[in-house]
Amino acid sequence: MGILNYKPINASRRFMTRYVKEVTKEKPEKKLTIPLRKKGGRNFQGVITVRHRGGGHKRRIRIVDFKRDKNDIPAKVIAIEYDPNRSALLALLEYDDGERRYIIQPEGLKVGRKIVSSWDKIDVRVGNCMPLEHMPLGTIVHNIELVPGRGAKIARSAGTYAQLMAIEGKYAILKLPSGEMRKVLKNCRATVGQVGNVEYENIDIGSAGRMRRLGRRPHVRGVAMNPVDHPHGGGKGKQKGYKQPVSPTGVPAKGYKTRKRNKPSSKLIIKRRR
């Protein structure tokens, strides 16, 4: 995959880039998709809880297998596909019994490769899924479970990975993409390798229209609003009135910790990302 630059035929095209998707199949597997119902950032009461969301191109949800619970049955990669709902690409697997499933494509996993998932010790090859306790130290992994059997929760976006640093007692110690070091139960499963589509972070959206097609609406600055609409609003000229930067609801925006105290996972964090 590579980053493609456009010819600057107008102002918005000058810095716009896109990545050349290494997909082998354009249309998704129909049985593995469901409709995506748009909410426009609103909750069940119709109140906007996430600002700047709405519109965008119509999409369908791809059902991705994060549990990898077809154990000890080899699967062949038959296609690499695009998913509009995530930054990573998808690999379409066909198991020996004929069933097809999507997984997140690891870097280097190509069409024709055979992979397997198991609770036992298997080969440490890209795409194979097994418990952390069966992997050698230093292994690069993604799609990591937090509770055995509940499916992957950590390191699922494009280019991310975690590294297995140690096994101590019933825990495995992982170094996460943010630099955080945390404990995870050693019988939690993970997939070997780094998530593919590594250059995704280098893409420049380039235009407002392209952002709208992604479903993101304009983000208006607080200082440009009236006092009734935002704590930074009002005043003569550009000024915040020497106020602390806050969100529209008054929550401090810089340096204010919103993490709850006594969170169950806090005791498993060895080194925080900051």
Q: What is d(CA 167, CA 164) in angstroms, rounded to the nearest whole number?
A: 8
Residue with tokens 């998707």: 21
Which long-range contacts (C-beta less than 8 Å, at least 24 apart) are formed by 53-56? 53/215, 53/216, 53/217, 54/215, 54/217, 55/212, 55/215, 55/217, 56/212, 56/213, 56/214, 56/215, 56/216
Q: What is d(CA 243, CA 77) in angstroms, rounded to the nearest whole number?
A: 56
User: What does each of the 274 residues of the chain score in pLDDT, given as a tens digit?
Assistant: 578 999 999 998 999 998 887 899 999 999 999 999 999 999 999 999 999 999 999 999 999 999 999 999 999 999 999 999 999 999 999 999 999 999 999 999 999 999 999 999 999 999 999 999 999 999 999 999 999 999 999 999 999 999 999 999 999 999 998 899 999 999 999 999 999 999 999 999 999 999 999 999 999 998 899 989 998 888 887 776 667 889 998 899 888 888 888 888 888 999 888 7
Sequence-separated (6 or more) residues with CB below 8 Å from residue 37: none
Residue with tokens 């925006």: 253
**Containing H/E element for 209?**
helix 208-213
Domains of the chain, each with CATH number or no CATH: 3-201 (2.40.50.140), 224-274 (4.10.950.10)
Q: Is the pTM of this model over 0.85?
A: yes
Q: What backbone torsions phi and psi does residue 53 show, to the nearest 5 degrees?
A: -125, 140
- 84-122: per-residue pLDDT in tens? 999 999 999 999 999 999 999 999 999 999 999 999 999
- 249-263: per-residue pLDDT in tens? 889 988 888 888 888
In 47-98, alpha helices (H): none
Distances (CA, A) of 45 to 26, 50, 66, 250: 37, 13, 31, 22
Q: What is d(CA 193, CA 106) in angstroms, rounded to the nearest whole number?
A: 6
